Amino acid sequence: MDKLVLPRRKPRKPEIVRLDPKAAAVVAKIVDETGYSVQFIVSQMVLFCKDRVELADMGDMDDAD
């Protein structure tokens, strides 16, 4: 199974999430097709991915921000 690998960073306070245009388009299409809200769709995606995320040290990634 493929993993989403994220480098570990210092914790931040919760914030409003803004999606990049490609991700927003994917969510908008799902919203149009299902009738669910953006909040519900994105929340379900996050919950689905939570066990599929792999954390890595910063040195493990070349293009980490």
Confidence of residue 61 (pLDDT cuts 50, 70, 90): low
What integer pLDDT is reported at residue 5 of this predicted model? 80
What helix, strand, coil percent values describe the chain, rounded to 5? 50, 10, 40
Sign of CA pseudo-dihedral 53, 55, 60, 65: positive
Amino acid at 46: V
Q: In the predicted model, what is the mean pLDDT of the chain?
A: 86
Confidence of residue 38 (pLDDT cuts 50, 70, 90): very high
